[in-house]
Amino acid sequence: MDGSPALAPPGSVESVSTLDTPSLLVDLDRLERNIARWQLAADTAGLHLRPHIKTHKSVALAAMQRDAGAHGIAVAKVGEAEVFADAGFEDIAIAYPVVGEAKWQRIARLAQHAKITLNVDSATAAEGISAAASAAGVTVHLQIDLDSGFGRCGVPAGNAAAQIALARLIEDLPGVELDGVTTHRGLFFPGAAEMSREVAGAHEGQIVVAAADNAATELVEDGVNGFVVPEPGSLPARAQGKLQGDIFIPPPEVGKGGPRRELWIWLIAAALVLSFVEWITYHRRVTV
């Protein structure tokens, strides 16, 4: 992640042996198709796509995603946000709770030049960034991080009381603005092995919608409007997709799932059978 603003021109390097290392080599045509397909998938679903740059950490590739229609970017830590803000990105979400006086001050400085959204899951984090933002005269947008099963961080998705308490606190703090909820369940939550990615994704969305729905009614009655209020049975109209996938791997076709797990099992079995037949054939040739 060196902050390089541009890709090397195609064909500008005569040989791989002349490249400095580390270097990233990509098939540009395939990369552009993958970016377009991810964007189309989000547009078709009515979502704002906010790609997570942790899969490439490249300013040039993030710019391609932004130019294709991405609604800002997501990063993992403050240092990444600083690199991309310096490169001209104006809408950055730090998709992890941040704790620490020095980091809060760095985020406040970033908010002087870009819209910064930050995950929070505790009063300590909310109060800390509030103090830093207030001192800098800026506003930082906060999304309440929900633990939807990963167990790494976040307010438990089933604990409406804790979500409401944190939302009310944020609403009363200066220098910050409540901007809904967010979650990342990852790939290793209990029961993940028995789910297809389509089922897991739909279930994760249902957990977030249910949590927002449970908390939002009481919050709206109290005049707290930053909590996303979902329509019954659907994702919130303001929902954003934080893309954790890889732009080097194309997404499933819109409206279709990827290869079913059962199909992979049969393909592997067929490959093993062919390998066994090939071994028998070779063994007979050698021994005859």
- Strand, helix or coil for residue 23: coil
Class of residue 256 by CB neighbours under 10 A (exposed 0-12, middle 13-18, buried 19+): exposed
Question: What residues pair up with 246 in beta bridges, in sequence order?
Answer: none
pLDDT at residue 256, as a whole number: 47
pLDDT at residue 248, as a whole number: 53
pLDDT at residue 235, as a whole number: 38
How would you write the pLDDT of the chain (288 residues) with one tens digit per residue? 555 545 556 556 667 788 888 877 888 999 999 999 989 988 888 888 899 998 889 999 999 999 999 999 999 999 999 999 999 999 999 999 999 999 999 999 999 999 999 999 999 999 999 999 999 999 999 999 999 888 888 999 889 899 999 999 999 999 999 988 888 887 778 888 888 877 887 888 888 888 877 777 777 666 666 555 433 333 333 345 544 445 555 555 544 444 444 455 555 666 677 776 666 665 655 454
Task: Determine the Cα–Cα distance for residues 170 and 123; give it in Å rounded to an integer.
Answer: 8
Neighbours of 141 (CB within 10 A): 17
pLDDT at residue 229, as a whole number: 43
pLDDT at residue 254, as a whole number: 44
pLDDT at residue 279, as a whole number: 61
Question: What residues pair up with 92 in beta bridges, in sequence order?
Answer: 73, 116
Neighbours of 219 (CB within 10 A): 21
CB of 41 closer than 8 Å to CB of 20: no
Tell me: cis bond preceding 22? Omega within 30 of 0 counts: yes
Task: Determine the Cα–Cα distance for residues 93 and 240; give it in Å rounded to an integer.
Answer: 11
